[in-house]
Amino acid sequence: MRGGISFSNPPGVKYEYSNFGFGILGRIVSNVSGMPYQQYIVGNILEPLGMTSSTYDIRQVAPERYAMGYDFVDDQWVEVPPLNDGEFGSMGGLFTTINDFARYIAYLLTAFPPRDDVESGPVRRSSRREMMQLYSQRNVSSSRQPPDSPTLVSSDGYGFGLVAGVDSVLGYSVSHGGGLPGYGTFYRLLPEHGVGIVTFTNLTYMPAAVPINEVYAVLKKTGGLNRRIIPPAAPLVAVQEAIAHLYDRWDDDEMKSISTESLFLDLSLEKRRAEFEDLRVNFGERLSVTPIQAENALRGSWHMKCKGGSIEISVTLSPTVPPLVQHLEFTAAKPLGQSLKRAITAMTHLIGQWDETQAQNLFVRSLKRKSLQAQFEALRVQYGDLKLGDVLEGDGKTKTSVRLLGSRGSVDMHISIKSGSKRVQAVSFTRPQETAFVP
């Protein structure tokens, strides 16, 4: 360091992984703590987590427990002697076990969900989540391998010693990998699911991420991954009850008591009243409400089931005490009529297996069937066989939005049919909006 540092880019401009940078961090820990980096980590991180089989000193590892590293050279396995960690121990060189490292993974995962419980362990939950935030973007990519598999769209970047990313299959994940002569390691956590997997290999730079991704794919396919459900906060529950009461029996004062002034700048109180009355006339008596799908403590949505259909209600509350409604939106969905039902059934069949004669009878001439065929084939590959799910929006007669459920995910279809001929005159598809927790 006395001789200076050569930079690949000006600091703060572009992502560049640097073992040298981690070496500097280790020196900082040593200088501030007044003890070697290794001693500080063992006493302040490993021992409090119960990682008693982990060490930086190879001499402390019993020979019968040590997994020799190997390289494969000229069709032969060659032993690779372990490297001493030295001054660069902070960038690698920890000897550990699967059981010990599982404790570390579990400790990272217990930072989620954010909560007010008593802190435990050497690092606060908020600091652990801070480690898993994206501070420097690395890449955005799209891939399909093999060719008949769903497209994987992903984006990730670097946090504090961890990679944070989001992809179209697993959502939010946190990972890191590394290797030294004789070894390759990778681990990936899904904080929203409370699951983590690590791979240790004793082969030089072994691509250890591959088996982890394969295991996650199996878990996803077999229903072994369940995203943690965020329980709705009390203010959201109170607003849900108030809106249901206002739908049953409107009251100006009650509406004003749960709302910010800005809500009526978007739509006046008089127009809000008319909106409720119009919904009541068109959808009739309220029968039930579904549980709140909470995006966070101040935002959520639910469905109100009525005699004449379903109404999705979305709210955002203000960051005040008490929280008040600052955004309110209704999405109304009438039950599907026979013409729309037939059109949707026909299109799900075409997605599974294209039939040109059936397509000619289903779509108006102005729709380009070749383009639709290519789009339907892509949907089949991406989502598998599709069937009708919830009705999301529409008048039930000539236009609607529905959720199609597939073996590999869900997709929303938006269609309209031409009055008289009952042929489909417009169709489009969108991915359902999902909220991935990215701290």
- For residues 171 and 227, the answer to whether their CB atoms sit within 8 Å is yes
Question: Is residue 400 in a domain?
Answer: yes
Q: Is 418 left (phi over 0), alpha (psi -120 to 50) or beta?
A: beta
Return the amino acid letter for 184: G
pLDDT of 437 strictly over 50:
no
* Residue 14 placed within a domain: no
Q: What is the CB neighbour count within 10 angstroms for residue 215?
A: 15
> What is the pLDDT at residue 149?
67
Decide: residue 290, CB within 10 A, 0-12 exposed, 13-18 middle, 19+ buried. middle
Is 436 a domain residue? no
- How large is the average pLDDT for residues 23-31? 95
- C-alpha 363: how far from its chain's center? 36
pLDDT band with cut points at 50, 70 and 90 for residue 143? confident
Q: Are residues 38 and 159 in the same domain?
A: yes
pLDDT bracket for residue 434 (50, 70, 90):
low
Same domain assignment for residues 328 and 344: no
* Same domain? 208 vs 302: no
- pLDDT band at 11; cut points 50, 70, 90: confident
CA distance 228 to 296: 12
Angle (deg, nearest 10), helices 269-283 and 234-248:
70
Examine the domain organization and report whether 166 and 72 are in the same domain: yes
Task: Report how far residue 222's alpha carbon sits from residue 168's, in angstroms, rounded to the nearest whole number.
Answer: 17
Average pLDDT over residues 121-133: 96
Q: Per the structure, how many domains does the chain have?
A: 3
Same domain, 316 and 349: no
Domain that holds residue 354: 338-430
Whether residues 202 and 326 share a domain: the answer is no
Please report which confidence band the pLDDT of residue 238 belongs to, taking 50, 70 and 90 as the band edges: very high
Write out pLDDT tens, residues 402-416.
Answer: 999 998 889 999 999
* 166 and 266, same domain (yes or no): no
Same domain, 280 and 325: yes
Of 333, 355, 383, the residue at which a domain comes to its end is 333
CATH number at residue 406: 3.10.450
d(CA 392, CA 331): 8
Strand order in the sheet with 171-180: 136-143, 152-158, 163-167, 171-180, 183-190, 195-201
Same domain, yes or no, for 241 and 320? yes
Global confidence as pTM: 0.83
Here the CATH number for the domain that contains residue 49 is 3.40.710.10
Whether residues 342 and 329 share a domain: the answer is: no
